[in-house]
Amino acid sequence: MTMSGIEWWNNLEQQWKQAFEVTFFRNSATPALPDIGQLQNTPVLRLAGPRAPYPNMNFEITNLSGIATLQQLEILVITHQQIKDIQLLRSLKNLKSLFLFNNQIESLEGIEALTNLEQLYVQCNNITSLMPLQQLTQLREVYINDNALTSLEGLTEAHSDNLTSLFCLPNTGLKQKEIIRVENQLGIRCRSV
């Protein structure tokens, strides 16, 4: 049995109610049922924290609990926040573009099943591994620079058909021999921002 829109809204953490009120409902009072339905079916959501060049929020969220059931999302932008864990993304199977840069993410675990993903922007985090990307062969653009990578394991030859923009430099722990391996063996060019 699925939760009604009002039940869903009432069960949201306060930080998420506030985030949606500011970014989606444009500071209106408690949203009406049709407005909540619109949010639950939106294909695009942007939450840019106060440190962003063009913020639409004056505070930072700390988790992804508010978007876990937004099944229609195709483009998700959550930048300049305090997100550390992205496990709750695993149910958003329609995502094509995911922008999570300038957070505190340490692992990409949670996106393994997002096989429709074409764009992934996760630069300026603390990510250490690309292994969760193994099955995401529809990726065209990946920005993973300024993280804690020491390897590009997770990228495969199957990625080379679509992945034309891999911005993985700088990553201070990424050795030149690993970059050469990916370029020579996989045919994927490692770019610098």
* pLDDT tens-digit map of 61-85: 999 999 999 999 999 999 999 999 9
**Buried-exposed string 12-40: b where 16+ CB fall within 10 A, e elsewhere:** eeeebbbbbebbbbeeeeebeeebbeebe
**Which percentage of the chain shows pLDDT scores above 90?**
93
Token code pair at residue 119? 């764009």
Query: Apex CA 62: angle with CA 58 and CA 68, to 5°?
Result: 110
User: Quick one: average pLDDT of 73-98?
Assistant: 97
- The reported pLDDT for the residue numbered 30 is 77
User: Quick one: average pLDDT of 127-148?
Assistant: 98
Q: What is the mean pLDDT of the chain?
A: 95
Edge-to-edge order in the sheet of strand 165-169: 44-48, 75-79, 97-99, 119-121, 141-143, 165-169, 190-192
Contact 92, 113 (CB under 8 A): no
Q: Tell me the three state secondary structure of residue 46.
A: strand
- H or E element, residue 192: strand 190-192
Domain residue spans of the chain = 5-127, 145-193
- The reported pLDDT for the residue numbered 2 is 56
- The reported pLDDT for the residue numbered 1 is 38
- The reported pLDDT for the residue numbered 4 is 83
* pLDDT tens-digit map of 21-51: 999 998 766 788 899 999 999 999 999 999 9
Q: pLDDT grade, residue 122 (50/70/90)?
A: very high
- H or E element, residue 48: strand 44-48
User: Quick one: average pLDDT of 127-142?
Assistant: 98
Domain 5-127: CATH class, spelled out: alpha beta
Token code pair at residue 107? 């692992």
- Closest CA relative to residue 159, chosen from 127, 109, 125, 115: 115
Q: pTM for the complete prediction? A: 0.96
